[in-house]
A and B are shown apart, each in its own frame.
Chain A
Amino acid sequence: MSNVGAWLTVAAAMPSLIAGASSARIEVERLRRLAVVGAAVMLAASLIVAMLPHAFELRTSAFTSEPGGEAVLRVDALSSVLLPLAAGLWLLTVAVTPRAALDRGGLRRTALATLITFASFLTESAVVLLLLSAGSLWTFLTALGGHQYQRRIVAVYLGASTVLFGVGVALLIGPHTQGTRWASVGLWIIAAAALLRKGIVPFHAWVPELFDRGRLGPTILYSAPQVGAYMTVVLIVPRATPELLRIIAVLALATSVYGAALALVQTSARRACGYLFMSQSALVMAGLDCTSTSALAGGLVVWLSAGLAFAGLARSVLVLEARRGRLDLSSYHGGYDRTPLLAISFLTMGLACTGFPGTLGFVGQELLVNGAVDAFPVMGFAIVAASALTGLAVLRMYFSLFCGRRDVFAHSALRFELTRREAWTLVAVIVALIGLGIAPRPLVDSRLAASDRILRERAHMSARE
């Protein structure tokens, strides 16, 4: 246990240090290099926590809060793999984001946002999650700076989600509401909050607008870890009736097909990313229907693959935007020969999003379909449709952004190629997605263990009620 505690401390210390160092008089580029090193250390420490055999013992009564009875701080089969995801997304952000889009304040905010996400994955206390959710919203709002339209979207939609979450938590764990009808009303309200935060149909309209206008970087960092899915797993899944879970799954499947279909016709690369994100993140929610252990495990694997692959894809768009300006999908931009690695990264990450064989996404989607097909065959057909449309949308984006034109207009002195830091980070993400896609057993076994634990907890809660 002490080992786990020590590694967790190291991991959590890194973003805290960078946030603190951003106030010191350190040159921005140097601070950024420090942030890259810090994120790499955090990733390594999180991976060690995930691989430590005794990691699941960190759940003691000393950390248990009174109101909900849930542990304020714990590491278990579910969270142990999400911690490296939070760290990996931070590393991707600080290593790949163009220099102009990540100043001193940006570095501080990304560190704080990562710390909040990291802490969220370490708790199952509703109150702590609510506080962290509010903190995350504040960080996101400050990161959007002067982009008023985007700030208003975030304030209205995510603010509403946080308020709903607060009301739901109050009803769920309030001293006079536990075990009453109000507790189940609270659960429905929390479910609505999670759906709003995740952009599930019919609460989805804000997602593509948010991606399309203003700053894409903070939007990726806020969206990719999918804390809304975590809220659902920790608070809703153990307590919800099968009907509520089925409603969430049906809405999520509709979102997945809808998002993929609309991504296919967008003329803005950012907006297409928004719809792709909607589609991918909805698959995670669909897996939480709890039809079987393997379907749930599939949802958890898709969570990781979609988080990593989508963040990589959207960061690639950001990198390309830094070189070419706003990207329009109604024409061909060419330039494959100048940025082949970026093109390959974009395509690979996009294919991982679609669940293409050989990537982690395929493993997750297979588990999801195989696990759900007996009890809920509609899920299988919906995933097939969503995957087909997503694949088409990704290839259309790839062709439009990297092919179809000779680079005759660009001056030969213009530097288009990736920096070494960008190149290595993108290669690392590709290796992770393909490596875990080719040898997925350790990860899948850990996800099966996590889903087994979630289902046991659910059975235990049902028996108690």
Chain B
Amino acid sequence: MTSLSLAWLVLLGVGSPFLLFAVLGGASLLNRPLRERWTGFLAAGSMTLSCAVLLTGLIIAGATRTGPRLLSFGAWSASHEGGVAIEFLVDRASLGFAALAAAIAGVVSAFSYRYLHREPGYNRYFILLSLFVSGMLLVALAGNVEVLFVGWELVGLSSALLVGFFHDRPAAVANALRVFSVYRVSDAAMLSAAVLLRHVAGTDSLSLLFGAARATTAGLSSANATMIAVLLIVAVAGKSALLPFSGWLPRAMEGPTPSSAVYYGSLSIHAGCFLLLRSAPLLMHAPAARVLAGVLGLVTAAFAGLATRVQSDVKSSLAYASLTQVGLIVVEIALGWNRLAFVHLAGHACFRLLQFLSAPNVLHDLHGMEETLSERSPKSVGVEVLLPQRWRRRLFLFALERGFLDSVLDRLVVNPFTATARRLTNLDAWLCGAVLPVERMLAPQAVREQDE
């Protein structure tokens, strides 16, 4: 009975934002977008409902004190082998994170209702937000790799499209593409981990990674477990902006403030941490991967702590401050302090959301105060004052240029890839012409001009 009611609650909790997406998206597709008031009302209602039922589920799961449960809603794509099944792995951690995500989305919806008043892309914003919340809930509750991947992809796409929300600005669009390109690397790593898991363990159930079936976890060889864990860490690094992928984080601040708050302050940036937290049993089985995660978290925290001090805009500064905490959460997971990591994650998500949403008001008040007092507010002083002047200058430049991460990635990956692909394009064009008869080959330009 409890299982059945829990299944219904989870289905309703996850289905509610999906339904919102279908209603808002369908209306826009038919060129009949809903009015602002209706959109805001439906969004707030949907998120509240989702949060309420997931909280109820959490209370039920907590009261019954049973272990993780796999709720299966049957095969979705096929009734035979090879089909994708809809499965949710439900325990206190997954329900807790899902309820937190729905609550934060509800707060952001209510805030955005007024903040984005009369914005031309008002409906588009809520469509993408509902897509994002749906994705986050799937990531939180996924019981198999397919469901996790669906959620992961929805979060990534909605994130990129919201970074490019002000789509008539070239910078916003270029940055959105950059963010999406890192997300694709993350997606590819996640899917590769899934393919490897399926190949070596013959299953796509996340119970194997998330510890619901600890006995079988031991069935994975150490080498395979390490490879899967490393791929997951790459996926997490991409999504949570850990080094060397941190360069996209300040670029993602092009979107509206509420979306920056929910993505890069509270939820999306923690999605990777949550996945890593869930994969803790696998990490225990792969010590080399644990060390990698710990080092990555520590270096990221140090780098972000440095970068946040020199940012010239409040959103970037807050984003790097978030990243500092994300790095520390990853270190906690690597050390096996999972409960602390979960509490840290939940607390930080709420705190940073509040900071992001109140930042415009705080800045406004601060400017007002400075004008009244006719003097600048005092600068905070950090430990860097202990360093020699030369080192301070270097550190400042390093932090200001955000670790030169973008230019390094450009030089090592983007430029060689682009140059090779362009050469191959030219080769294809040449090969095509080379096979055509000689007389035309002698005058390809003339032929092209004639065609055009």
Q: How far is the CA of A362 from the CA of B199 in the complex (A)?
A: 20
Closest to A150 in B: B451
B202 at the A/B interface (Cβ < 8 Å)?
yes
Q: Is A242 an interface residue (CB 8 A)?
A: no
CB proximity of A289 to chain B, nearest CB, Å: 14
**Contact between chains at A404 and B170 (CB < 8 Å):** yes
Closest CB of chain A to B84's CB: distance in Å? 5
Q: Which of A262, A340, A374, A391 is B425 in contact with, Cβ under 8 Å?
A: A262
A156 to B146, CA, bound (A): 44
Chain A min CB distance to B216 (Å)? 18
Give the chain B neighbours of A374 by CB distance below 8 A.
198-199, 202
Q: Mark A348-379, 1 if CB is under 8 A from B, else 0.
A: 00010000111000110011011101100100
- Name B388-422 residues within 8 Å CB distance of A: 417-418, 421-422
Q: Roughly how many angstroms separate A357 CA and B153 CA in the complex, as a whole number?
A: 7
Contacting residues, chain A, for B452 (C-beta < 8 A):
213
B169 and chain A: residue at smallest CB distance: A404
> Whole-angstrom distance from the CB of B440 to the nearest CB of chain A?
6
The A129-188 residues at the B interface (CB cut-off 8 A) are 147-150, 152-153, 156-157
Contact indicator A337/B120 (Cβ below 8 Å)? yes
> Which chain A residues lie closer than 8 Å to B421 at the CB level?
261-262, 264-265
* B219 proximal to A (CB < 8 A): no
> Which residues of B lie under 8 Å from residue A298 when comparing CB positions?
82
B168 and A404 contacting across the interface, CB-CB below 8 Å: yes
Q: Establish whether residues B170 and A444, one from each chain, have CB atoms under 8 Å apart when the complex forms.
A: no
Query: Given A370-B198, A391-B184, are A399 and B173 neighbors across the interface (CB < 8 Å)?
Result: yes
Give residues 354-409 of B contacting A (CB, 8 Å).
Answer: none
Q: How far is the CA of A369 from the CA of B104 in the complex (A)?
A: 35
Quick check: B451 and A399 within 8 Å, CB to CB? Answer: no
Question: Is A37 in contact with chain B by the CB < 8 A criterion?
Answer: no
Which chain B residue shows the least CB distance to A447? B78
Measured in the bound complex, the distance between the Cα atoms of B185 and A405 in whole Å is 28
Q: A320 CB to closest chain B CB, in angstroms?
A: 16
Interface residue? B180 (CB, 8 A): yes
Is B168 within 8 A of A448, CB to CB?
no
Name which residue of chain A comes closest to B79, CB basis: A445
In chain B, positions 138-186 with a C-beta closer than 8 Å to chain A are 146, 149-150, 153-154, 157, 160, 164, 167-170, 173-174, 176-177, 180-181, 184-185
Query: Which residues from A are CB-within-8-Å of B81?
Result: 293-294
**Cα separation A214 to B188 with both chains bound (whole Å):** 36
Most buried by A among B77, B168, B195: B77
Closest to A365 in B: B191
Contacts A205-B428, A370-B198, A395-B180 known; A148 to B173 CB distance under 8 Å?
no
In the assembled complex, B187 has its CB within 8 A of some CB on chain A = yes
29 residue pairs bridging A and B, Cβ less than 8 Å apart: A149-B440, A153-B436, A208-B429, A209-B429, A258-B424, A265-B417, A265-B418, A266-B425, A271-B425, A293-B81, A294-B78, A297-B78, A334-B167, A337-B120, A337-B168, A351-B157, A357-B149, A357-B153, A373-B195, A373-B199, A388-B188, A391-B180, A392-B181, A399-B167, A403-B164, A404-B169, A405-B168, A405-B170, A448-B78
Give the complex CA separation of A358 and B18 in angstroms: 11
Q: Which of B149, B432, B437 has the most CB of A within 10 A?
A: B432
Q: Is B435 an interface residue (CB 8 A)?
A: yes
Q: In the complex, what residues of B have CB within 8 A of residue A440's CB? A: 76-78
> Does residue A56 face the partner (Cβ distance < 8 Å to B)?
no
- Measured CA separation A407–B168 after assembly (Å): 8
A264–B167 Cα distance when bound, in Å, is: 20
Residue B83 is within 8 A (CB to CB) of chain A in the complex: yes
Bound together, the chains give a CA A262 to CA B417 distance in angstroms of 10
In the complex, B30 has a CB within 8 A of chain A: yes
Q: Which residue of A lies closest to B171 (CB)?
A: A404
Q: Mark A255-277, 1 if CB is under 8 A from B, else 0.
A: 00010011011100001000000
CA distance A407 to B418 in the complex (A): 30
Q: Are B77 and A441 in contact (CB under 8 A)?
A: yes
Is B428 a contact of A156 with CB atoms below 8 Å? no
- Which 6 residue pairs across A and B have the least CB separation, nearest first? A294-B82, A380-B195, A205-B431, A403-B167, A357-B150, A388-B188
Q: A148-B451, A440-B78 are in contact. List 5 more A-B contacts (CB 8 A).
A: A149-B447, A366-B84, A367-B82, A374-B199, A395-B180
Tell me the chain A residues, 268-302 only, with Cβ under 8 Å from chain B: 271, 292-295, 297-298
What chain B residues lie within 8 Å of A371 (beta carbons)?
82
Residue from B84, B188, B418 within 8 A of A385 (CB atoms): B188
Beta-carbon contact of B448 and A149 below 8 Å: yes
Query: CA of A389 to CA of B157 in the docked complex: distance in angstroms?
Result: 14
Query: What's the Cα separation between A367 and B437 when bound, in Å?
Result: 43
B198 contacts across to A, CB distance below 8 A? 369-370, 373-374, 380
B157 A356 Cβ-Cβ under 8 A: yes
Interface residues on A, range: 35 or more
Does B217 sit within 8 A of A, measured CB to CB? Answer: no
Report which of B184, B195, B428, B448 forms a contact with A381, defined as CB distance below 8 A.
B195
Q: Which residues on the B side are within 8 Å of A209 (C-beta)?
A: 428-429, 432-433
**Interface check A336, CB cutoff 8 A:** yes
Bound complex: CA A92 to CA B358 (Å): 50
Compute how far the CA of A340 lies from the CA of B62 in the bound complex, rounded to whole angstroms. 47
B4 at the interface (CB under 8 A from A): no
Whether A402 and B451, one on each chain, are in contact in the complex, defined by CB atoms closer than 8 angstroms, is no
A44 contacts B by Cβ under 8 Å: no
Is A332 a contact of B188 with CB atoms below 8 Å?
Answer: no
Is A234 an interface residue when CB atoms closer than 8 A count as contact?
no
Q: Is A48 an interface residue (CB 8 A)?
A: no
**In the complex, what residues of A have CB within 8 A of residue B191's CB?**
384, 387
- In the complex, are the beta carbons of A423 and B149 less than 8 A apart? no
Contact B435 A399 (CB under 8 A): no
Do A367 and B428 touch (CB < 8 A)? no
| Choice from B195, B424, B427 contacting A369 with Cβ under 8 Å | B195
* Smallest CB gap from B21: residue in A: A358
Asked whether, in the complex, the Cβ of B184 is within 8 Å of the Cβ of A152, the reply is: no
Q: Pick from A149, A261, A392 the residue with the most CB of B within 10 Å.
A: A149
Given contacts A371-B82, A374-B199, A384-B192, A366 and B77 within 8 Å (CB-CB): yes
Cβ of B118 within 8 Å of any chain A Cβ, yes or no, is: no
- Given contacts A341-B29, A344-B29, A404-B169, is CB(A294)–CB(B80) below 8 Å? yes
Shortest CB–CB separation between residue A215 and chain B, in angstroms? Answer: 10
Judged by a CB distance under 8 angstroms, whether A246 is at the interface is no
Which chain A residues lie closer than 8 Å to B153 at the CB level? 356-357
A residues 199-232 near B (Cβ < 8 Å) are 204-206, 208-209, 213-214
Closest B residue, CB atoms, query A344? B29
Q: Which residues of A contact B169 (CB under 8 A)?
A: 404
Given contacts A265-B421, A380-B195, A384-B188, contact A297 B82 (CB under 8 A): yes
Cα A157 to Cα B79 in complex, Å, equals: 42
Asked if B187 and A388 make an inter-chain contact with CB atoms under 8 angstroms apart, the answer reads yes
**Contact of A148 with B184 at beta-carbon distance under 8 Å, contacts A367-B82, A384-B195, A445-B78 already known:** no
Interface check B87, CB cutoff 8 A:
no
- Chain B CB within 8 A of A460 CB: no
